[in-house]
Amino acid sequence: MRLLPSRRSDLIGFGVLIVVLAVFPLLAPPSWVNVGVYALIYAIAAIGLTLLMGLAGQVSLGQASFFAIGAYTQAILVTRYDWSGITAAVVAVVLASLAAFVLGLALLRLRGHYLALGTLGLGIIITVLATESEFTGGTSGIFGIPKPEFNNRTYNSPSEYFWLLVPVVVIGLLVARNIVSSRIGRALGAVNDSEVAAETLGVDTFRLRLQVFTLSAAYAGVAGVFFAHWLAVVNPNAANFPLSVKFLLISVLGGLGTVWGAVIGAFLVEFLDESMSTFIPQVIPGATGEVELLGFGVVLVLLVILLPGGLHQAWQLAVGRIVGRGGGADEAAAAPTARPDPDDSPLFARAGRSEPGSTLLEVRGLTKHFGGVVAVDDIDLEVRTGQILALIGPNGAGKTTCFNMVSGVLTPTSGTVRLAGKRIDGRKPHTFARARATRTFQNLQVFGSMTVLGNVMVGRFLRSRAAMLRGALYFPARAEEAQIARSAYDVVEMVGLGAEARRQATDLPFGRQRLMEVARALATEPDLLLLDEPMAGLSRTERRELALLLRRLRAGGMAIVLVEHDVEAVLALADQVAVLDDGRLIALGTPDEIRNDPAVVAAYLGVDEDDSEAAEAVREMTGGSGGQS
Amino acid sequence: MTDFLQLAFAGLSVGAVYALIGIGFVAIFTVSEVINLAQGEFAALSGLIAISAVASGLPLPVAVLVAVASVAVVALLMERLTIAPVKRMTTLTSIILTLGVSTALKAVMLIVWGPNSQGLEAFPGENVTVLGVSIRSQELWILGITAVVAVAVIWFYEQTGWGKALKACAEQPTAARLVGISLARASMLSFLIAGVTGAIAGVAASPVYFTSWDSGLAIGLKGFVAATLGGLVSVRGAVLGGLALGVLESLVAGYVDTGLRDAVAFVVLVVVLVVRPSGVFTRQAVARV
Amino acid sequence: MRRIITFRLAALVAATALTLTACAESESGGESGGDDSGPIKIGAVLDITGAGASLGVPERQTLEMLAQQVNDDGGIGGRELELIIEDNQSTEDGAAKAATKLINEDQVDILLGASRSGPSFAMRPIAEDAEIPMISLAANVQIVDGSEWVFKTAQNDSVVLENIIDLAVEEGWQTLSLIRDSSGYGEGVQEALAELGEPEGIEVVTTEKFAPDASDFTAQMVNVREAGADANIIWGIPPAAALAQQAYRQLNIDAPVIQSHGIGNQVFLDTAGQSADGLLAPLGRLLVADQLPDDDPQKPVIEEFMADFEEEYGEQPSTFAGHAWDGFTIAVQALEEAGTDPQELRDYIENLEGFVGISGVFNFSAEDHSGLDKTALAIVTVENGEWKLVDDNRD
């Protein structure tokens, strides 16, 4: 069965693109071709920006900075040092990427607005540096950059330069597409949907974003090289804010949902620019100069309010009306929900695990203060291989906070967490994941932009290796991609979601989304699994099936910590039970011990009010305030 | 020493303008988490309107009032037409929206007022020399106005019912709504404050620093840096931040290299955001849980 | 999946359709100049918006007025004159784009522009590559240095600087400070000044820079005041030059202040206001036309231009308008005398002597594509907000 999307549509699209671009200079009037050259140059930079904003979710208002670095480097090396165009180009792109890498180390720690304005500031700093430095030619910049020459043919007419750019744009687009549908692309998509969930599946968000930031700058650098040769002059305006705004407009107009948007957006924006420069002065006499800004501004505002997904969204809406919402829903309704395997053989056994019964997770003195509130107070816990520990207690007792601290989502105020002997408290969640531990979430952290299968495939992130380069080239990573899809599907079937594998994750009822989260967590092949209320929203049958699954996992040697409110289910399933109340551990023992522990009863389980003796005991213990249930 | 004082004073004057712009950023951000990239344009627009008003015969005080009122209306319109309709406001959305408005406003100013820089008639007063430092009367006006506006805004937020309601919206939007505070009204009010403070900055600064269709960008971004020094949530922080930034710029321009002036603001921005994102002039580093 | 194919397909089909309809339009338009019929085309790239607007706008006005006059008088050799003006938005890449368009698409016979030095630098290689004569309206001598195809009508900085040094020698100033525009307009000025001053024993003790759009000059002026030179030179164009002038006066710097020829328009006087009084500047005679002696060769030409401009636009022209007048009139004269062949046009201009223009009397040669010496400027001061001739400088 075919699990991965077909590449055929992509190939057709690229074929048509090449034909159209090749034919364009032959048919279009010269002024259009001139505009087209700029469109292609800017498109290259915009592809990088779309990758950064759409895929990695980072807003950059400074794409022109790296564009300028590429352009200046090329200009200086070619005019001042007489380097050949190609060698200089390689250095220019490397330099732009390097600059992004170094700056990204600092800037990418910023979030949202701060990153956007930090990149804006970067653009201004580069402009100032270029203006002030003799080396870069000051305000006048570098001029006299020759047109490229290959095989005794100088590419100096708009048509020739256009053709020169076409393969660059096509390859750039191809590489970007490959990355988007690769393992790295999937991981980044997951980060966009839920950064915390992606991290707990082992995705090192910072590192990936830095990679995309660097790559995006490389694209800008390439565009800058071609810009330098075409314009023959490079000056500090190449890094200026209006240019970064133009790149932003191109990406947003085309639609951040697809890298094709960059190419289409570029043509649109450049033609819009040209036509507005001629149109507005006719409507408003005497208006000259950057009047096209009026159009840009209005377009941006309207886009965001009416069509935030850009042209891509417009297209999807239009097609959606015609084609109808096909696929997933009908499939799922037609096929009966497959029930998981009813046998109880061990699952996910792994040779590398320590002996059953040995301590895997050790928590000592775990404490968390939020300002003046003590959410978790001095908790000691141990989880053993091949064991299920249940964590129960009233709402607000601190269970999820514990999970958050153990999995690295929160830093403990004090206390230690040791996994397989190594301290992991205060480390980021992907460290937790790399130590073969993972978790699910009480507030669902589903990757809404993906299918069920897609979600679980993200779970395979740590069990696969293809880095960005292999993903970019597509073929070296193809076999692994197929493998990832297959193993993910196996896990999906195992939990009983096989029929819904290709549905959008958010289309599932909440309970089954929770199940999907479990599948996703299992896909990482963990030794330790933290489950935060996995049974909420499941039917009785589904709960029994999940319980069976957990037993099989335990039999295979996994250590499981389970937070649940279904006390009966939990007491039947667990080997050890820990009870939290008000941040403190009030009881720890076997299910039987816990069931009868008066403190637990008073705090959580509650007691039959007709049993006067017990009620009296409870009243004494709690100072008359009565128990909660 | 005279040189140092002269530079420092010049820095305080321009820093006061940054402070006023910064207050506008804080006003909007605290209510709706939107960073208004058109803040600088409010200042530029008000300067140009005042100049036209004076040119058409209105006395200066009236012209100033007309300018401030007009920009306040523009700010309200911006809120109603562009911010309010957006259901899900993400970072990218708010940046692009406000950027779009900023761009459109710039183009309108270019079309209506042309490309040249113009200066508003100076407010009445004489230049003075104190301790060898030559001070223009307009600079004294700028400092005075900034002080008054800053005090007024702080009083508003801390002493009046509506001001406290705005702060509540910033801290707990859902709770605020539950107790009956209209988020729509709060948003409009925040834009009103931003429009008025930005407009005042524009008319006060125009006689000395000149206004043109694109003078909003630089001043807006530096105002943003000022606001960031206050963590984007503190009016006091923004004012102190603006003044500090102005002085720092002036000293760097004077003692190091005049060309580096514009870079100062952004180096400061990046350093602050990386080292202490909660702001330099705020009481404690607040962790956003 | 299907949606994705169809999205791209449709977009590309749309692009193709657009292209095909465009080619239907493309059949018209784009007649080549340079042949013997049809209009003669002059292309102009001007700084109409942006930092150079105060130069570009009067230049445009002048060109439009003059082109109208030429056509009213029957055109050039019976052929209509078509003037195509492009705005470079005061940027170098804007100028490069505009020049490329004028040469490749409009196929102009001769190119004028840009208003300022920076954009002119960007245009030069394009004109030279295409071997089309270009007349720049900007000041920096490097625009024409070593060029075969590029000429200019604004006085070279060196001419201005020579006048300043002469002034310094006359007044006995030994030390000078320079506060200059950091863009192309101010580049090379310090070096040239130092070079000219050396044989006279005059030294440039400090140099400060300002951006063309700067509004605060405290830092620069404080340093200049510190340096305490005998005289200080501000080298920029309005509004910056005017704001600098204000700052200079505000900081009570006693030493005499000299401005460059970049301030030759009313915008400067309006912006600088009272602070302009007492400055000295080598400026074009246009500004003091009524104060010129009657036997001054430029006086009749200047007065006619001023009258025409005033009648057409209701205001006085600036020296920059004058540069445009010179460039245009030289171009038209060349086109009339030498036809539209680029090489002949070029040769004609290069050999032109004794051309009485607004900016001075031009004498071009193979070594000198600027054509003006220091007598092209008069020494002018400002008194009560008006230009006042100090020295007619013909000797």
List pLDDT tens digits, range C151-175. 999 988 888 999 999 999 999 999 9
Residues 362-381 of A with CB under 8 A from C: none
B95 touches chain A (CB under 8 A): yes
Q: How confident is the model at residue B161 (pLDDT cuts 50, 70, 90)?
A: confident
Tokens standing for residue A411:
């830093």
With a cut of 50, say whether residue C1 has pLDDT above it: no
Measured distance CA(C43)–CA(A591) in Å, rounded: 92
B270 touches chain A (CB under 8 A): yes
Bigger pLDDT: B79 or B130? B79
Q: Confirm whether C18 is domain-assigned.
A: no
Q: How far is CA C224 from CA A604, C188, C204, C206, C221, in A?
A: 80, 19, 11, 7, 5
Q: Are B231 and B237 in contact (CB under 8 A)?
A: yes
pLDDT per residue as tens digits for the range B27-76: 998 888 888 999 999 999 999 999 999 999 999 999 999 999 999 999 99
Range of the domain at C204: 157-283
Q: Confirm whether C69 is domain-assigned.
A: yes
With a cut of 80, say whether residue B115 has pLDDT above it: no
pLDDT computed for residue B289 by the predictor: 23
Could you tell me if C167 and C143 lie in one domain? Answer: no
| Residues A5, C1: C-beta atoms closer than 8 Å | yes
Could you tell me if C47 and C72 lie in one domain? Answer: yes
Residues of C in contact with B114 (CB under 8 A): 53
| Residues A30, C104: C-beta atoms closer than 8 Å | yes
Measured distance CA(C90)–CA(A308) in Å, rounded: 34
Closest residue of C to B118, CA-based? C271
* Average pLDDT over every residue of C304-312: 94
- Taking the CA of residue B242 and the nearest CA in chain A, the distance in Å comes to 17
Size of interface A-C (CB pairs under 8 A): 142
CATH number at residue C150: 3.40.50.2300
ipTM of the prediction greater than 0.90, yes or no: no
With a cut of 80, say whether residue B97 has pLDDT above it: yes
Measured distance CA(C179)–CA(C190) in Å, rounded: 9
Q: Confirm whether B180 is domain-assigned.
A: yes
pLDDT per residue as tens digits for the range C319-376: 889 999 999 999 999 999 998 899 999 999 999 999 999 999 999 999 999 999 888 8
Tokens standing for residue C296:
């001054």
Q: Confirm whether B282 is domain-assigned.
A: no
Tokens 């306040």 found at: B72
* Average pLDDT over every residue of B251-267: 86
Q: How many domains does chain B have?
A: 1
Last residue of a domain, one of C283, C316, C349: C283
Give the residue ranges of chain A where pLDDT is below 50: 325-336, 624-629
Q: How many domains does chain C have?
A: 2
* Residue B170 one-letter amino acid: A
Pairing of strands C40-46, C110-113: parallel
Q: Confirm whether C378 is domain-assigned.
A: no
Tokens standing for residue A199:
């991290």
Tokens 């809406």 found at: A317
Q: How far is CA A56 from CA A185, A209, B139, in A?
A: 8, 6, 46
pLDDT computed for residue A273 by the predictor: 81
- Taking the CA of residue A330 and the nearest CA in chain C, the distance in Å comes to 16
Question: In DSSP terms, which residues pair with A414 in a beta bridge?
Answer: A367
pLDDT computed for residue B221 by the predictor: 87
Q: How far is CA A299 from CA A295, A302, C39, in A?
A: 6, 5, 39
Measured distance CA(C137)–CA(C85) in Å, rounded: 14
Could you tell me if C169 and C246 lie in one domain? Answer: yes
Q: Confirm whether C292 is domain-assigned.
A: no
A117 touches chain B (CB under 8 A): yes
Residues of C in contact with A255 (CB under 8 A): none
Positive or negative torsion for Cα A20, A25, A28, A31: positive
Tokens standing for residue A387:
């064991």
* Average pLDDT over every residue of B175-200: 87
pLDDT computed for residue A617 by the predictor: 67
Q: Are C364 and C351 in contact (CB under 8 A)?
A: yes
Measured distance CA(A227)–CA(A234) in Å, rounded: 8
Best of C57, C215, C234 to substitute, by most chain B Cβ atoms within 10 angstroms, is C215
Q: Are A120 and B40 in contact (CB under 8 A)?
A: no
Measured distance CA(A481)–CA(A478) in Å, rounded: 5
| Residues B269, A121: C-beta atoms closer than 8 Å | yes
Q: Could you report how far apart the first and last alpha carbons of chain C are, in Å?
A: 84
**DSSP secondary structure code for residue A460 in this structure:** T
What is the rounded radius of gyration, in angstroms, for the C-alpha atoms of chain B?
Answer: 18
With a cut of 80, say whether residue B274 has pLDDT above it: no
A376 touches chain B (CB under 8 A): no
Q: Confirm whether C393 is domain-assigned.
A: no
Measured distance CA(A560)–CA(B209) in Å, rounded: 67
What's the longest Cα–Cα distance across chain B? 59
Residues 469-528 of A with CB under 8 A from C: none
Pick from A29, A21, A38: nearest CA to A230: A38
Pick from B212, B144, A459, A85: nearest CA to C54: B212
- Taking the CA of residue A261 and the nearest CA in chain C, the distance in Å comes to 9
Q: Collect all residues with Cβ–Cβ distance below 8 Å to A209 and sequence separation of at least 6.
A: A56, A58, A104, A108, A188, A191
- Taking the CA of residue A56 and the nearest CA in chain C, the distance in Å comes to 21
- Taking the CA of residue A593 and the nearest CA in chain C, the distance in Å comes to 56
Helix axis angle for B39-55 and B183-209, nearest 10°, is 60
| Residues B115, C49: C-beta atoms closer than 8 Å | yes
Strand locations in A91-247 (E): 142-143, 149-150, 153-154, 233-234
Helix H or strand E segment including A364 = strand A359-370
Could you tell me if C61 and C78 lie in one domain? Answer: yes
pLDDT per residue as tens digits for the range C66-113: 999 999 998 888 889 999 999 888 877 788 888 988 998 889 999 998
Range of the domain at B113: 23-215
The whole-model pTM stands at: 0.83
| Residues A106, B270: C-beta atoms closer than 8 Å | yes
**DSSP secondary structure code for residue A378 in this structure:** E
Bigger pLDDT: A329 or C218? C218
How many helices (H) and strands (E) chain A has is answered by: 25, 14
Could you tell me if C348 and C309 lie in one domain? Answer: yes
Q: Collect all residues with Cβ–Cβ distance below 8 Å to A37 and sequence separation of at least 6.
A: A158, A161, A162, A165, A230
Residues of A in contact with B220 (CB under 8 A): none
SS3 category, A576: strand
pLDDT computed for residue B277 by the predictor: 66
| Residues C250, B7: C-beta atoms closer than 8 Å | no
Measured distance CA(C289)–CA(C388) in Å, rounded: 10
Helix H or strand E segment including B102 = helix B91-113
Residues of chain A with CATH 3.40.50.300: 359-596
The burial class, CB within 10 Å (0-12 / 13-18 / 19+), for C72 is exposed
Q: Confirm whether C391 is domain-assigned.
A: no
pLDDT computed for residue A331 by the predictor: 40
Per CATH, domain A359-596 is 3.40.50.300 = yes
- Which of B91, B101, B262 lies nearest to residue A301, judging by beta carbons? B101
Could you tell me if C173 and C278 lie in one domain? Answer: yes
Residues 103-132 of A with CB under 8 A from C: 131-132
With a cut of 60, say whether residue C3 has pLDDT above it: no
- Taking the CA of residue A469 and the nearest CA in chain C, the distance in Å comes to 25
| Residues C9, A315: C-beta atoms closer than 8 Å | no
Measured distance CA(B19)–CA(B31) in Å, rounded: 19
Helix/strand/coil (H/E/C) assignment for every residue in chain C: CHHHHHHHHHHHHHHHHHHHHHHHHHCCCCCCCCCCCCCEEEEEEECCCCCCHHHHHHHHHHHHHHHHHHHHCCCECCECEEEEEEECCCCHHHHHHHHHHHHHHHCCCEEEECCCHHHHHHHHHHHHHHCCCEEECCCCHHHCCCCCCEEECCCCHHHHHHHHHHHHHHHCCCEEEEEEECCHHHCCHHHHHHHHHHHHCCEEEEEEEECCCCCCCHHHHHHHHHHCCCEEEEECCCCHHHHHHHHHHHCCCCCCEEECHHHCCHHHHHHHHHHHCCCEEEECHHHHHHHCCCCCCCHHHHHHHHHHHHHHHCCCCCHHHHHHHHHHHHHHHHHHHHCCCHHHHHHHHHCCEEEECCCCEEECCCCCCCCCCHHHCEEEEEECCEEEEEECCCC
Measured distance CA(A404)–CA(C134) in Å, rounded: 71
